[in-house]
Structure 1
Amino acid sequence: MATTSYGNAARSGRTALRVAIIVACAGFVTACQSKTDALDLSGYVDTIEPADVLYNQGLANMNAGRLREAAKKFEAVDRQHPYSEYARKANVMAAYTSYKLGNYDEAIQAARRFVNLYPTDEDASYAQYIIGLSYFAQMPEVTRDQRDTKLAVQNFNELLERYPGSIYEEDAKAKIRAARDQLAGKEMQVGRYYLERREYPGAINRFRNVVEDYANTRHVEEALARLVETYYAMGLVSEAQTAAAVLGHNFPDSQWYADSYALLQSGGLEPRENTGSWISRIGGRIIGAEG
């Protein structure tokens, strides 16, 4: 009988303990729920607004110079109303505001997305233009790697090819000229580096790139003169004479030609064109021959 009484008491104790634990947990959950209910979660809720309202708010902010606020509104249009007409417009404006803010990677991403989604849209040429502008704005000094310069040329050329006659055409052409001039400048910088160290083959390759690929830049004049100097140093007299002749034909009044002429004369030579030379073949494409 004592054992039974003890067992009943133990079971009753365990039952009471379980009840106490359940009540305590319930109280804990209720307290946590009360605290959660008391939190202000409004900052985590994306308030849905009409697409036209968001878009016009974006335009108003942009016109007032509040570009960051404008960007948020345009992004909200795309996020809340992704298949609307306003989302299409907002995508372009988001690219523009990112460009103006100097967020070039974001601008390129938004603009490229637009071009891919709406390649025939009336704003597609503008989106392509923004891509080119974003790379152009990141062009480094001539002494550094020219990846962004090359991408600027590539994307502006794509604008000209895909959207001929666009209102951005003339500016794109002007920026292509500026970027190509920088690319030619980079080739000249490396070529002079090789020439100073008497690494003549490397120097010739760089100067030749300028004459062949950047014949309509201001660097071609010096490139021809450097070819005269390099070929002469190597003893390749005929090539040196040809480079000088092409230089004189295209830039007869330049100091570069005067210096090249004097160099040849110091060795009893004068400019003489070998029509079989690559320099002679490329001579007619040099900008100095135009007009």
Structure 2
Amino acid sequence: MSIQRLTRELRPHASPAGRHLRLAVSLALLALPLAGCGTGGLWDKFMAKDDTFVDEPADKLYNEGLFLMNEKKDVKGATKKFEEVDRQHPYSDWARKSLLMSAYASYQAGDYDGCIGAATRYVTLHPGSPDAAYAQYLIAASHYDQIPDISRDQGRTEKAIAALEEVVRKYPTSEYATNAKTKMEGARDQLAGKEMDVGRYYMQKRDYTAAINRFKTVVTQYQTTRHVEEALFRLTEAYMTIGIVGEAQTAAAVLGHNFPDSKWYKDAYNLVKSGGVEPEENKGSYISRAFKKLGLG
């Protein structure tokens, strides 16, 4: 679905509910003088301005929203128009379209919470709509765009991955599934980078067990990220330091088998050689099993 199709102008149609409401009010007003002098208060209530009686055509509000968003670049103003369609015409097809446009406009404005709220509501109310995949993708993209630097807590990254997985799971054949997979790899790379950052910190503190646990996470959960080569080298380094030579040999061997031209392999090879051994894979090691599971071993 293209945004052009979403934003095209549709032919306005009559609102029977609006006509019925105006007719009922007119009849009530005509009847008031017959009730005598005691009706002043009631008459004043009918004559007073009451916004609940404002019933602008849905297509007019919708197209005004499109104009504000596309021509005036007034995303906030456009969002208000789309929300007004939903308020005044909650069960119309225009309301459905406006809800999605409200989510899109919020995303464009960087109002990610607003986008997530509107898109989630759309998916909940219209799960069978052809545009539900796009709404779900907007939710995921809003989380993804808020991924923080690796020095900070990665809770938002985990939310992004969960939302992106939902796009792929629910709409595997949609045009958004491919983009979701690409973003998912980027988010996973971020989580792996966080593990590496913490692992290197522990290495500097000579807390080798804590460091190994971090590098192990990268090797077992994020083998397809760009950080796995360094993680294998760091495992080689940490295991050699604490004297678990067999695991060091395995880490170096798996690194050489999968990334023979990597600079990290050259360092790992020289490290085990300096300890008087060669890289040698233990097939029973978690390192070996992690790569066999992906068909990389």
TM-score, reference length from structure 2: 0.80
Paired AA for residue 60 in structure 1: F
In structure 2, distance between residues paired with 1:277 and 1:118: 49
Aligned to 1:209: 217
Would the aligned equivalents of 1:227 and 1:240 in 2 still touch at CA under 8 Å? yes
Q: CA deviation at 1:223?
A: 0.5
Alpha-carbon deviation of 1:251? Answer: 0.8
Equivalent residue number for residue 69 of structure 1: 77
Amino acid at match of 1:45: D
1:109 aligns with 2:117: yes
Q: Which has the larger radius of gyration?
A: 1
Q: Could you tell me which residue of structure 1 aligns to residue 55 of structure 2?
A: 48
Match of 2:174 among 166, 176, 189: 166
- Taking the aligned partners of 2:205 and 2:127, their CA distance within structure 1 comes to 50
CA distance in 2, matches of 1:203, 1:86: 56
Deviates most, 125-134 or 162-171: 162-171
Which aligned pairs between 1:24-173 and structure 2 lie closer than 5 A? 45=51, 47-64=54-71, 65-173=73-181
Give the TM-score taking structure 1 as reference length. 0.82
Residue in 1 aligned with 2:40? none
1:199 deviation in Å? 1.0
- Stretches of structure 1 that go unaligned for 5 or more consecutive residues are 1-36
Displacement of 1:278:
0.9
The one-letter code of the counterpart of 1:100 is: Q
**Partner amino acid, structure 2, of 1:225:** F
Q: Distance in 1 between matches of 2:168 and 2:128?
A: 14
Rounded to whole Å, the distance in 2 between the matches of 1:233 and 1:45 is 75
Displacement of 1:284 in angstroms is 2.9
Deviations 1:111-153 (A, max 9, x none): 0111111111111101100001101111110110111111111
Q: For residue 267 of structure 1, report the CA deviation from its aligned partner.
A: 1.3
Tell me the equivalent position of 1:14: none
CA distance in 1, matches of 2:124, 2:134: 13
Return the offset for 1:210. Answer: 0.5
In structure 1, distance between residues paired with 2:117 and 2:77: 19
Does the CA-based 8 Å contact 1:250-1:286 persist in structure 2?
no
Partner of 1:243: 251
Structure-2 separation of matches of 1:184 and 1:120:
36
Shift in Å, 1:45: 3.3
8 Å CA contact retained: 1:200, 1:234: yes
